[in-house]
Every structure is written in C-alpha cells, then in structure tokens.
Structure 1
Amino acid sequence: MSFSLFSPKNRIINFVLNEHSIRFVELKQANPPIAQKWGERFLPPGIISDGKIIDFESLANIIDECIDEWKIHKRSIRFLVPDSLVIIRKLSIPSEIQADEMKGFLYLELGTSIHLPFEDPVFDTFPLTDNGKTKEILLFAAPEKYVMEYADLFTSLKLIPVAADISPLALYRLYFQMDLASQNENLFIVQFDLTSVTMCIFEEAIPYVMRHFPIPFEINKWEMNKEKDGMLEFKYMGDASELAYQFEDILKEMNKLIDFYRYSLNNGKKEVTKLLLSGDHPLLQVILEKVKDRLDIPVTTISLDSYAKGKAGMVPTRHLLSLGLALKEVQ
C-alpha cells in the first residue's frame, strides 16, 4: 500500500515560464517522483524577452486560459525566476556577521564592496567556509522589480505564489532525487532550450558559477505542431547551417566556462568531472552527440523511464524543470 506525499488540496502547482512556453507539473509523490498531471502552452515571441515580461496583459490572458484548461484555480504555486535575471557570486564577509544579520549587512555593502548589475535586488545566501576571520558565502541575486512582476501576475489571477527557485537547482534536485549524483562530483549542467542556454557548475549540491546565453529564435523558420497528448513539437525548416553556427557558438562558451572554473576559480586544482545535458531544444539528441564528440568529459542525461509516470502516461522530458521544482522542500 502506498500513500501520496500530499493530500490533493495541498498539492502545489509548479510553473515554468520561458520566452516560448508555459509549463506546469503537479506532483503526486516525491520518491520516486511521480506526476499527477502536467500541461504546456506555447508563448508567441515578444511576450517575455530576456526574462522580463513585455506584454503583461497578453501573458495574463494566456495564463488565465491555462488555469481554466488545466483546472488549477486558486492553487498555491512555485515558479522559476528566469535564468537571465539570476546572478551567483561567491563573497567573503567578516566571520562575526551572524545569519540573522546577513541580509542587513549585504544591503549596506551594495554599491561599495558588493557590486551587482542591477539595483534593488532580492537575494538569498548559502554558507561555504569560515576560517574564524572571514567566511565565504554564495550570493544568489535577481532584480526584485522583475521577480515581483511574476509574483504579482500570478496573484492577480488568484493563484498563490509560495516559493521561487532557479532552474539549475531544480534540475539538480531531480538529478539527486533519482540517485544519479556521485561523491566528489563537479557537475556541469547545460540546459539547452529553444531560445536560450543556461550553464551551471556544481560542486556536490552547490552551484558555484552560472551563465546564461540567449539563442536567436525566428518563429517563421520553425514548423509547430500539437500532438495528440497536447505537447508541442517543433521542426526546423530554415537553413541547417544557421543552427550549426549556433551550436558551435554554444560549444565554445561551454569550453570557456569549463576553463574558467578549472583555472580562474581553482588554479588548475579542480575540474569538471561530468556533464548533464538537458533542455527542450528539438534537436537535443544532435546536440548531445556533438557535445560527446567535442568534450573530453563523461556526458549524461536524465531518463525518466518508470519515473514520473502519471495517469496520463510518461511525463515528457521537457517537463524536467517543472518536476525538479516540484521536489523543492519535500525531500
């Protein structure tokens, strides 16, 4: 006999929005991760750009239709902060700064010893080391204005935002939950989507460095079809050499980040030991083969197999982020 982790009335909806889609997963149980239901809706270009909401009214109307279609009225939700808005920094601060003083101290240091490319950040911290004089922390920051626009949007549609997260943590959470992590592992996560690529390097379960790169997306060069299960399928109809150039550029950026981590951050004493490739790009399998050919690092993917199978069948792999987000605070 098995029991669900949550009672139905307490199950949280997990939203992932990017420039080309809205997705959600409702988790049935966490171990193994099994989804109760999921859904997807295409977003036309220009509604969200560089992680920022450009057309608030159109996005609100589309999400409102999704709420009706997916029957998720007045539910509590988690959502991902767009990767393009997120910065991860390692900082050294005096050891005497206590946990309850951390945010006040960081706000005081903004613009002097701490410099961010935006004003009025919302942030979180994670402790690393403490030698008695100074301690190192990781700072996760994003511009409060744009993060709150998403929270306010959901609230205006009578949804209840209860938590926000970042995509590398969501994906790592699923990777860990499925018992794929190894001890002393330096994992390079590459999330290769239709309109952007996010890269993040983890030591054990800690993300140390993150980069985000937009990808040119011309909708007239893609043929979009809706499958019987409601999922969207994209087929590229343009010049194949254009995508090849895109892939080459991203491979160069991957190599740069690997070298930055090894030499600039660790003086050659640490290196990436494994690469996890994920994402919703229609040619992800082609990208996987290119990565395996070009990088001298073991490359893996997340295969759901018997995991995440709900009443409607197997959860598509492009819902991995939503599934990882659903595991937040349930482990």
Structure 2
Amino acid sequence: MTDLKRKLVARALEEGFVACRVCRPADVPEVAARLSAFIEAGYHGQMSWMAERTHWRGDPAALWPEARSVIMLAESYAPERDPMEVVGMPDRGAISVYARNRDYHDLVKKRLKRLGRWLIDAAGGEIKVFVDTAPVPEKALGQAAGLGWQGKHTNLLSRDWGNWAFLGSVFTTLDLPVDGAEIDHCGRCRACLDACPTDAFPAPYQLDARRCISYLTIEHKGPVPEELRDRLGNRIYGCDDCLAACPWNKFAVAASDIRYAARDELVAPRLSDLARLDDAAFRAMFSGSPIKRIGRDRFVRNVLYAIGNSGDAALCDVARELTDDPDAVVAEAARWAVDRLERD
C-alpha cells in the first residue's frame, strides 16, 4: 500500500492537482459540533440545505460506511493578475476569480474520476468522488489529511500553494496509508479579517454567511439588506477580498488548466452592458460558467447595486431602464440605484 500511495500521489500531480493527501473518514470528530453551532447561530442564512442531512455533513464516516480512506486533493486556480484591481473601477463589475471562466465542478470532477479509475485498475476496491456538491466537509478533511489548514477566514490554505485552490475528494474502500494533519500557521495575522468589506467574521475562524458578499451575491434570494448594499461596492458575483489578503499567497502555484484563466470579457466587464442582459443573452454569455446558476434576475440585481454604488451619473439612465422590470427584486434594485445616483 505504501508503493500504491506513492504512485497515487504522482498520478494526481500528473492530472494537474497541486497536492494529494490521505486521511480516514473519522478523522474530523470536531465537525459535528462546529456545524451545529454554526446553524444554531443562524450563520447559514437562507442556505437551508446546510441544516439538512447533518448526520452526514457532520460525520463523513456515516456518508459511506464502507469507505476506509479519503483521498483529498487540491487544484490551483491562482489568478495571473491582482484580483483587486477591478474593485477600484466603479463602472466595471468585479467577478470572483474562480467564476471568470469554466465551472470548476465539471473540471475537477473529471480529474477525480480519471484518478479514481486509475486507482481501481491498480488496486481494485470501490470509490466515490465529490466536489462541493455533497454533504462532505472538504476543508476539515483537507486539514486532517495535511493539505493545509483552515485559516481565520475559514478557507483552507497552505504554505505550499496559498489559498487559491479547489478541493476534491475520493472516498475509497482501500486502506491507504494516511498523512498527518496540518497545524495552524496563521499566527497573529488578521489580514483576511480586516479586509472583509462587510465585517462578516464575528471572530477568527468564524463566518456569518449572512454578511458575506459571496453569500449575498450568490446564495441570497430577494433584496439584499439595505445596510449592506453600499458595502458590496462593485462586487457582482462573489468576493475575493479575504483570499487576496492572505500573505501565504506569495507561494501560490499557477493554475495548470487554461480553462481557469479569466475570459477577457469577464475580467472587468462594463456594468452598463451587464445591466442590459435579458435572460437569453445572460444564458449565452455565461454558458458553462458557475454564474449561470444564479440566473439573470439575481445577477442583474447585483449589477444594479454596483451601479448604485458607482457614483457615476452616466449610469443613472441604465438603472432607470429597469425600474419597471418584470422581476420585482430587479425593479426595486433599479429604483434604489437611481435614488442613490440622483442623491450623489
């Protein structure tokens, strides 16, 4: 099994992953209590699915009792340029680095399946692969396997590749040698906490999703609370502020897949163009992108908040065109944007 493990790691790196480590499904006993506290505090907001199937989400060993090992993998999507540049362009929209091209779920899962098939051919057994679409605590398992540690921003980071990485897992019935858990290397640093525009961290290592821009622009349905809208700035899909602030990114590894490289039209798109997207144009523009999942209405809602925050009077007419939009939330966001710009 030791030789198999060595070959497995080598194969994972050949596939494009930046790291591959192994732990046991039961190596994260703290997850259940943390999840319970998170939900009881209401930090999950409208993400009701987090409060469902908690017996699986809090205990990976219960998800598939036959599994003996969890192979945890990290795949880099590190940006080629500073993702914060666009935040200083008020007439443009800031889209999170991970969403500027193809949907990572499809790309990572295909790699995991290829790696899993190789493992079965080499040693037999059974596998199940997961990429952020099942009740699997990937970040906790990643730390238990030694990929990295959960930083004060609650994301996994590493001294070897920073924090720009997707996580995937391969559960297997094979009894593979395990790696030791990684320890915390954040020290006294609080760069990620101080960088958050909405103060979404009640304390280090705790996230209140209800104030997180990624949650507000992606998961939150309906109007965003007015007291938070100005803090969104021009962030129209996700937020990279806490990730970009992490000093461990000086060791970031370049993304190996060209399909993670930002499409030119999504690096700093004009808000005026995005606001005018109808459903068909939205679907065409974001075909194969994770952005497509939130739909035209929620996306344009976000764009209108950015327009309202722009201070650019030239965008007032663009917002005014949508004050009678068929979607009530879009129409309300448009009226809010017009009011803001007229007052400015």
TM-score, normalised to structure 2, is 0.26
Please identify the structure whose Cα radius of gyration is greater.
Answer: 2
TM-score, normalised to structure 1, is 0.27
Could you say which structure has the higher strand fraction?
1
Could you say which structure has the higher helix fraction?
2
